[in-house]
Amino acid sequence: MNTIEIPQRNIVCEVPECWDEMTSEQVCAIVQLFECYRRGAISEVDFYVRALYLLLGIRRRPTTIFLERVLLRKYSRRDEHVVLLCEQLLPFLVAENETGRTLTFDSVRNFLPSIRYRRRTLIGPADLLADLTFAEFRFACTEMSEYFSNGDRRALDRMIGCLYRPAGRGGRRRQSFDPERLDEFARTVARLPLWQKKIILMWFANCVSHIQNKEVRIDGRAIEFSCLFDSKEDDRESGSLGWVSVLYALASDGVFGDAEKTDRAGLFDVLCLLYDNYHKNRRK
């Protein structure tokens, strides 16, 4: 956390210096503000002013907003100072890329562990997909890739349907994943606000990238799964079916059982087995 002190008023405030230090409420509000900025509903300056107020826990009163509009020149000068302060305190918030300015959300924490929608509560995965099954992961990856390739909103809804479902029975956190019901799950989440869908999309993409490229700690063991995701040219030309081929290879070995039982196995159980097999084969 960064600390701001105003000695004249005996005020001490803390501002997050990364996404992981934000609360769920702060992340949701920042993403909604940024969507307003992208739509042109608010200016870039207003986005930064509201973001800083939000992260400082300062409420903007209606009278303050009215005065800002009436005394535009005076408050514009103040807002410029706030923007400079934001650039110093919140460099992690927004970045420039080839498509314009975008949020640099990079957390693997699930800031939306559950979503209340139409008198139903949809339950999502744990941080870094810790409780995801192999089937949920591979279907969600497929739908995410389709969404990134053609922007099909139905693919985005199907991806979220792989991850968020109503609470299950018999002590299960959420209903079991059934690929045959994926369109039904997608219809359940189709009318979620776009900003919620974007948080889930950014978070899931971060988790996949983290698993592919960074160290993961499992039961005190530090593992880098990057060796399982190397994309060499000869691998791309080999006609591999990717995760489907992995599924049937594991099913043929019978470690978790048949294909259906393998799909119900935990994602990290599957990845750890693949990792151990990879290094055993290298030592031969």
Mean pLDDT on 227-255: 68
Q: Count CB atoms within 10 A of the CB of residue 205.
A: 16
Mean pLDDT on 243-265: 87
* Integer Cα distance of 184 and 198 in angstroms: 20
* Integer Cα distance of 213 and 201 in angstroms: 18
Tell me: pLDDT of 6 over 90. no
Burial bucket for residue 119 (CB in 10 Å: 0-12, 13-18, 19+): exposed
Closest residue by Cα to residue 158 from 192, 121, 129: 192
> Lowest mean pLDDT: which of 2-11, 49-58, 143-152, 244-253?
2-11
- What torsion, rounded to 10 degrees, do the Cα atoms 97, 102, 107, 108 define? -90
Residues 160-191: b if buried by 16+ CB within 10 A, e if exposed: bbbbbbeeeeeeeebeebeeeebeebbebbee
pTM of the predicted structure, to 2 decimals? 0.86
pLDDT value at residue 284 = 65
Contact between 124 and 202 under an 8 Å Cβ cutoff? The reply is no
